[in-house]
A and B are shown apart, each in its own frame.
Chain A
Amino acid sequence: MKRRMIRAMLCGLLCWSVPLLTSCWDRVEVNDIAIIVGAGIDQMDGKQVKLSAEIYIPVESTGEGQESGMKAGNGNGKTFVSSAAGSSMAEAMYKLQERLSRKLYWGHNDIFVIGQARAEHGIEDDLDFILRYVRMRERANIYISEGSAVDVLGIIPRLEPNSMEALSELSKTEISITVDLKEIIERIVETPDETYAIPYINRGKLLTDVSHVRNPNVPYFRGMSLFKKGKMNGNLNSDLTWGYFWITNQIKGNTIISLKMPEEQTLAVLLTHSKTTLIPSITPDGKWKMKIKVRGEGNLLQNTSSLDFMNPAQHKAMIKKTNEEVEMSIRQALKVLQKKYKTDVLDFGDRFRKLAPKQWQKEKKNWSTMFSEIETELDVEINIQRPGILNQNIKKMNRVNN
């Protein structure tokens, strides 16, 4: 009798615990959720913030199988954009939920696009919400868009299922970098003025399908936007961004260095790898200096100049020209960052902190002024290793006339 009772109790316990595994209070069915694939944050009038979410529309697979097979290039998911405004992001999310029949699901969201007006107003409130809410992910990438974010969200590019996929894929190429939430929080905690740089993308109106047909050259990325103390205070255009990448060792392979040559000559180098080292130093009389050492390798991509690759002296001249080009772009970026914006997104502060901790503690309170006065010394060496497949440039290939 006793054994039977114990067995009955154990079975009862098992049966009772199984429903609990589905978490009665917290269960959400899969077809009750709205999957967010991209989020946009914009500034509205009167200090309101508008939260837009690009939501994935799941396609019914049975019955339309043959049709969607033929349109395979478009991807199988369409999205729609829904937005709502509130006095803070949390309130905006609540209002957004009111408009949707399904529960918002943030687990697949990898992108936050912040409109320029909001960035200039200050994004710290939004960052607090994104980090604190348990359902968001720290791996999400952040972008600033010129204009408003909601325009960027609704674009359906030709090659990818939605604009957010396009942005992620573009970030992985050499054109731009990814900046995720964790890096931003690290920069906020560690740098004295909370300085960081976030990729800056073009206005939505330039990127829509229609103008893509007319302006196929419009890139997604315009450069980097600079932040200080949570507010956007400037941006770097694509040329200056290139210099920024050189200094912070974020240049990826396959970058094309195109040199400025006189009168219809062209010279271009395809970079394979490079490494930038920053060497800080403090001279005995208290001047702070930074030496930027760049070492890289590349292959010749295009050469219709008078310089011949196979000639050692002219090869050296080619290398010298390439070095000068890189140095010039680094100097331009440094000038803008140091003099115009006084924003240390280059991690100079961190280097000095590692070099001389005690002096850094004293100087870090007015780091913006100190940063603008740092003298920089450049040491660039890009070795051009291979000429590609041709060994003579096209203009000199005519043997009949020689």
Chain B
Amino acid sequence: MSWHTLITIWVLIGGYGIVNPSWKKHDKKEKKVLFSLLFIAFVLSLGLGLNPNLPGLTEWVNALYRPLHGWLSP
């Protein structure tokens, strides 16, 4: 995903947050969770923007299960 899409998405999210301020009415705990999730997403989008081929969980799982590949080949 190029930087254009990521920036558009984040701007839209910011816009939605401003237009619909119902999130301010929640407890502190829920706001904390909300912002930590958004922070994780932000870090991930930065990572994806810098390196679209960011190695992820899938590679790790592939490496873990590689010895068992022989079981499932035709």
A residues with CB within 8 A of B: 5, 9
In the bound complex, how far is the Cα of B20 from the Cα of A5, in angstroms? Answer: 9
Judged by a CB distance under 8 angstroms, whether B33 is at the interface is no
B-chain residues with CB within 8 Å of residue A9 when the two chains form the complex? 19-20
A-chain residues with CB within 8 Å of residue B20 when the two chains form the complex? 5, 9
In the bound complex, how far is the Cα of B20 from the Cα of A9, in angstroms? Answer: 10
B-chain residues with CB within 8 Å of residue A5 when the two chains form the complex? 19-20
**Closest-CB distance, B16 to chain A (whole angstroms):** 9
In the bound complex, how far is the Cα of B20 from the Cα of A95, in angstroms? Answer: 53
**Closest-CB distance, B26 to chain A (whole angstroms):** 16
4 tightest A-B CB contacts, nearest first:
A5-B19, A5-B20, A9-B19, A9-B20
CB-nearest residue of chain A to B22: A2
In the bound complex, how far is the Cα of B20 from the Cα of A128, in angstroms? Answer: 53
In the bound complex, how far is the Cα of B19 from the Cα of A392, in angstroms? Answer: 97
**Closest-CB distance, B67 to chain A (whole angstroms):** 30
CB-nearest residue of chain A to B16: A9
| Proximity string of chain B (14-37) to chain A, C-beta cutoff 8 Å, 1 when within and 0 when not | 000001100000000000000000
In the bound complex, how far is the Cα of B20 from the Cα of A155, in angstroms? Answer: 67
**Closest-CB distance, B7 to chain A (whole angstroms):** 19
In the bound complex, how far is the Cα of B16 from the Cα of A9, in angstroms? Answer: 10
**Closest-CB distance, B38 to chain A (whole angstroms):** 20
- 4 pairs, A vs B, C-beta closer than 8 Å: A5-B19, A5-B20, A9-B19, A9-B20
In the bound complex, how far is the Cα of B18 from the Cα of A9, in angstroms? Answer: 13
In the bound complex, how far is the Cα of B19 from the Cα of A5, in angstroms? Answer: 9
A-chain residues with CB within 8 Å of residue B19 when the two chains form the complex? 5, 9
**Closest-CB distance, B24 to chain A (whole angstroms):** 13
**Closest-CB distance, B13 to chain A (whole angstroms):** 14
Within 8 A of A (CB), among B1-59: 19-20
CB-nearest residue of chain B to A2: B22
In the bound complex, how far is the Cα of B19 from the Cα of A80, in angstroms? Answer: 59
In the bound complex, how far is the Cα of B2 from the Cα of A203, in angstroms? Answer: 55
**Closest-CB distance, B74 to chain A (whole angstroms):** 14
**Closest-CB distance, B4 to chain A (whole angstroms):** 15
In the bound complex, how far is the Cα of B19 from the Cα of A104, in angstroms? Answer: 46
In the bound complex, how far is the Cα of B74 from the Cα of A371, in angstroms? Answer: 29
**Closest-CB distance, A117 to chain B (whole angstroms):** 38
**Closest-CB distance, A238 to chain B (whole angstroms):** 43
**Closest-CB distance, A288 to chain B (whole angstroms):** 28
In the bound complex, how far is the Cα of B20 from the Cα of A178, in angstroms? Answer: 63
**Closest-CB distance, B70 to chain A (whole angstroms):** 22
In the bound complex, how far is the Cα of B12 from the Cα of A233, in angstroms? Answer: 64
In the bound complex, how far is the Cα of B12 from the Cα of A9, in angstroms? Answer: 13
